[in-house]
Amino acid sequence: MAATTLLIVISFCAILIDINDIYAEYGINECNITLPTLFLFCLQWTLVLIPLHLLSRLDFEPHIPLKGTMIYALTGLVALSSFVMLANSLGDIRDALIMDLADVRNEHYKDIQQGMEGSGNYLMVIPSLLTNNPFPTLALFFWFYMKTFMKVPLLIRASIFIASIAQAIIAITISGRAAMIYWAFDFFLIYSFFYRYIPFRTKLTINLTSGVLGSLAATLFISITIARFDSGTNDPFASLYGYAGQHINNFCTMIIHGGGTPFLPDRVLPLLTKLTTGVTYDMVEHYEALGKGTSAIVNVFDTFGGEVFLDLGWIGYILMLLLLGLLCIYIKSSFKVLQFHHSFILVIFIAFFTHGLFAWPFTSYYATYALILIFICFFFFKYKFEV
C-alpha cells in the first residue's frame, strides 16, 4: 500500500504538469503520453509492486540468538564506513560554503567518475562499497529492526540511523535532492512494513519526530528545487511538481523516441560489460552516445524501465519484464514466512523501487559489488556455520 501511494503521488504530479502545460521545462520532454506506453508503465510497476506486496504480508520471524553478533558486526561496519564517508566529504561541505555551487557539483561528479574507473583512493573502496545502494536502505531497515525486536544501546541505534542518511547529508552539500527523496521513500516503505510490530509508544515517538524533521527536510528540499529551477514562471512550485511528476512522460518519451539509440549495456550491467568488453562506464559519454540516437532529452528521470529500453532496446526491456514476472511467481510459490535472512531480499526490492522511480538503481561498479555483498549476507544469515 505504501509503495502504491508513492506512485499515486507521482501520477497526481504528472496531472499537474499536464494541466499547467510545463512540458519541455525542468528537464521534462515534450508531451509523449499514449495509451500503449501508459500500459507498459503500469505493467512494469505492477511487476515490482507484487513482490513487495507478497513479502510484506508474510509473518516476519526475527533472527535467532546465534546471529546476534553478526548483526552487530554488519551494522558496525556499515556505520563506520558512513562516518568515514562523511569525514571525507568535509571538503565538499567547506567548498559549498565558499565556492560556486556548479563548481562543487562538477568536482563531486569527477570524484564519482574516478571511483567508477578505479583510479580513486583505494583506502576508500570499502567505505564506498558499504555506503552504496542498497546499503543505506539496509541500514535504515536495521534501525527499525533494532527498535522493534532488539534491546541495543542508543549509541548503536543512532550510528546506524546516521549511516542510513549519510548519502543524503553528503548530497545536500551540492544541493542534491535525489538522495533525500530516496531516504524519505525508504523510510516510508520500511516504516509501513514494521508498523504492525512496533509498540504504540515507539510509533508515537517516530510519528512526532519524523513529522518535525520531515517538515524541516521538506522545506529544505522545496527551497533547493525552486532555487535551482526557477524560470520566472508565475507558479513558484512548478519546478517542484515538475520534478515529482516527470517520470511518466519521460518514460513514454523513451519508448516512443528511444528506439534508435545504440546498444549500450554498460549502465545497466557495468561490471559485466567491463569484464567482457573492457568498456568502462562513463556517465557523460553514455548520455552523449544516447543523445545522438534520439532528439529526446535522455539525462532525465525516465524510471528504471526507460533506461533499460534506451540501453538494451526492446529485447532487453522484454527480458527484464519476464525476469520480474518469474520473480513474482517464485516468491508467491516459495515464500511461506519471511525469515530474517529474507529481509536482505526485501531490502533489495525496496531499494530497487525507490531508486527505480527515477532511473536505473544499480549503476556503477560499487553498486554491483554492493548487491553481491548483500546476497553474501543473505547466505551468512541463512545458514549456521561451525568452526
Residue 293 lies in a domain: yes
Least-confidence region, from 22-26, 267-271, 307-311, 351-355: 22-26
Assigned domain for 215 exists: yes
pLDDT for the residue 175: 59
pLDDT in the model for residue 167 = 84
Nearest to 54 by CA among 342, 354, 320: 342
The total domain count for the chain is: 1
- Average pLDDT in the 216-237 region? 65
The pLDDT tens digits for 68-119 are: 999 999 999 999 999 998 888 777 666 655 554 444 455 545 554 444 444 4
Question: In this structure, is residue 261 part of a structural domain?
Answer: yes
Please give the grid coordinates belonging to residue 204.
Answer: 508515537
pTM value surpassing 0.75: yes
Range of the domain at 289: 2-382
Side chain identity, residue 139: A
pLDDT at 217: 73
Give the pLDDT band (50/70/90) at residue 48.
very high
Helix 238-257 / helix 303-334 crossing angle, nearest 10 deg: 80
Give the pLDDT score at 241. 86
User: 41 pLDDT exceeds 80?
Assistant: yes
Residue 16 has pLDDT above 90, yes or no: yes
Would 194 be classed as within a structural domain?
yes
123 vs 325, more confident? 325
Residue 227 · residue 337 · CB < 8 Å: no
Q: Is residue 197 part of a domain?
A: yes
Least confident of 96-105, 125-134, 289-298: 96-105
Q: Is residue 98 part of a domain?
A: yes
Residue 387 falls within a domain, yes or no?
no
Percent of the chain with pLDDT over 90: 61
Domain assignment present for 222: yes
- pLDDT number for residue 385: 65
For position 172, what pLDDT does the model report? Answer: 67
